[in-house]
Amino acid sequence: MKQLKSHFIHEGRYAAEVEITLIDDKTPWAPIVAKEDIFKTDRVRLALRRGDIKAAAKEAKVFELLPINP
């Protein structure tokens, strides 16, 4: 059984919401993340680290985090 989930990545002043697939194959390790989604989250994380928002936005929804001053 496959299930889509949102995974959030936070790097510096940015956050990204990446859609990943969880696979429940009824093994003790289940659910597992699809291999291609692991690489996708790594690409998004590295793009955010180097400030390449355009590249991160190709594979995820990107947010800019702003501090709130009370």
Per-residue pLDDT of the chain (70 residues; tens, 9 = 90+): 889 999 999 999 999 999 999 999 888 888 999 999 999 999 999 999 999 999 999 999 999 999 998 8
Determine, yes or no, domain membership for 70.
Answer: no
Contact 41, 7 (CB under 8 A): yes
Determine, yes or no, domain membership for 48.
Answer: yes
State the Rg of the chain over Cα.
14
Count Cα neighbours of 31 within 13 Å in the Cβ-side half-sphere: 12
Determine, yes or no, domain membership for 59.
Answer: yes
Domain with 41 in it:
2-64
Task: Supply the pLDDT for residue 45.
Answer: 97
Determine, yes or no, domain membership for 69.
Answer: no
- In the numeric block, which tokens belong to residue 42? 């790594």
Task: Supply the pLDDT for residue 26.
Answer: 86
Task: Supply the pLDDT for residue 70.
Answer: 81
Number of domains in the chain: 1
Task: Supply the pLDDT for residue 2.
Answer: 87
Determine, yes or no, domain membership for 47.
Answer: yes
Determine, yes or no, domain membership for 38.
Answer: yes
